[in-house]
C-alpha cells in the first residue's frame, strides 16, 4: 500500500530494497574478514551502489476506457493522463514542452471547439497513446542509459517526441483558425452581395 510519508515511501522503494540486499552482501564480506577494519565502509558503499543502480519507481501507465473519439471521453482521458504525468519525474526541458502541449490540448478540448472527427481523432490519439507511450518509454530507458553509457540521452528523445506531438496538435489549431477565417470571409461576401441586390 502506498504511503504519503516520504521516509516510509523510501523504505518500501526499489532503491532501498536493492541497496539492502547489496548491504547484506557487504555484511557477508565483513563476516569473512575480507573487509578488515574497513567493514563499515564496505557495507555502506555496497548499500549506496545498490541504491544507485536500482531501477526508479515508475507510476503505472494509465488505462483509458474505450470511448472512441467522443469529446467527453477524450476529456475524461485527458484528466486521467494529467494525473499520471503529475507523478512522473521529468527533466525541466521536457516538462516545459509537456506543459506547452498540455495547455494546447486543454484549449482544444473546450466544448464545441473541435467538431471535425479527424481533428478529434488526432487529439484522442495524442492523449491516449502518444504522450503516455513517450513518457513511459523515457522512464524505462532512463534507468538503462545509466548502465549503458555512450547512448543518446533518453531526455533528448522525449523532447523530440514532444516537439513532434506539439506540431501535430498545433496543426489542428491552425486548421481551426483557417476554417474560422474562411467562414468569416464567406459571411462578409454574403452580406456585401446581399446589399447589392
Q: What is the mean pLDDT of residues 28-57?
A: 86
Q: Is 65 contained in some domain? A: no
Regarding whether 29 and 87 lie in a shared domain, the answer is no
Cα 117–chain centre separation? 25
- Give pLDDT, residue 135: 92
Residue 44 has pLDDT above 80, yes or no: yes
Q: 92-115 pLDDT, tens per residue?
A: 999 999 999 999 999 999 888 888
Give the count of domains, the chain.
Answer: 2
Instruction: Look at residue 167 in the predicted model and tell me its pLDDT.
Output: 95
Q: Round to whole Å and give the CA distance between 157 and 193.
A: 54
Q: For residue 26, count other CB atoms closer than 10 A to its CB.
A: 22
Please report whether residue 1 resides in a domain.
no
Domain shared by 161 and 102, yes or no = yes
What number is the average pLDDT over the span 32-56? 86
The answer to whether residue 9 scores a pLDDT higher than 60 is yes
pLDDT over threshold 60, residue 1 = no
Q: pLDDT per residue over 131-173, tens digit each?
A: 999 999 888 886 666 556 666 778 888 999 999 999 999 999 8
How distant is the alpha carbon of residue 160 from its chain centre? 13
For residue range 166-197, what is the model confidence (pLDDT) as tens digits? 999 999 988 878 877 788 888 878 878 876 66
The predicted model gives 5-18 an average pLDDT of 79
Distance from C-alpha of 155 to C-alpha of 53, rounded to nearest angstrom: 18
Question: Which residue segment(s) compose the domain that 20 sits in?
Answer: 6-53
Q: What are the cell numbers at 42?
A: 564496505
Q: How far is CA 34 from CA 26, 50, 68, 107, 109, in A?
A: 10, 20, 64, 64, 64
Would 61 be classed as within a structural domain?
no
Shared-domain flag, residues 96 and 180: yes
Amino acid at each position: 500500500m502506498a504511503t504519503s510519508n516520504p521516509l516510509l515511501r523510501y523504505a518500501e522503494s526499489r532503491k532501498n530494497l536493492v541497496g539492502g540486499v547489496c548491504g547484506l552482501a557487504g555484511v557477508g564480506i565483513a563476516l569473512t574478514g575480507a573487509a578488515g577494519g574497513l567493514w563499515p565502509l564496505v557495507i555502506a558503499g555496497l548499500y549506496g551502489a545498490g541504491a544507485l543502480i536500482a531501477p526508479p519507481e515508475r507510476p503505472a501507465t494509465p488505462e483509458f476506457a474505450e470511448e472512441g473519439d467522443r469529446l467527453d471521453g477524450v476529456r475524461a482521458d485527458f484528466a486521467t493522463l494529467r494525473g499520471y504525468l503529475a507523478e512522473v519525474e521529468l527533466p525541466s526541458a521536457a516538462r516545459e514542452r509537456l506543459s506547452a502541449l498540455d495547455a494546447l490540448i486543454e484549449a482544444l478540448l473546450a466544448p464545441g471547439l473541435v467538431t471535425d472527427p479527424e481533428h478529434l481523432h488526432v487529439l484522442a490519439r495524442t492523449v491516449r497513446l502518444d504522450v503516455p507511450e513517450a513518457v513511459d518509454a523515457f522512464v524505462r530507458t532512463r534507468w538503462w542509459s545509466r548502465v549503458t553509457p555512450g547512448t543518446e540521452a533518453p531526455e533528448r528523445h522525449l523532447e523530440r517526441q514532444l516537439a513532434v506531438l506539439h506540431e501535430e496538435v498545433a496543426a489542428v489549431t491552425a486548421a481551426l483558425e483557417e476554417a474560422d477565417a474562411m467562414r468569416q470571409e464567406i459571411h462578409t461576401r454574403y452580406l456585401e452581395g446581399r446589399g447589392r441586390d
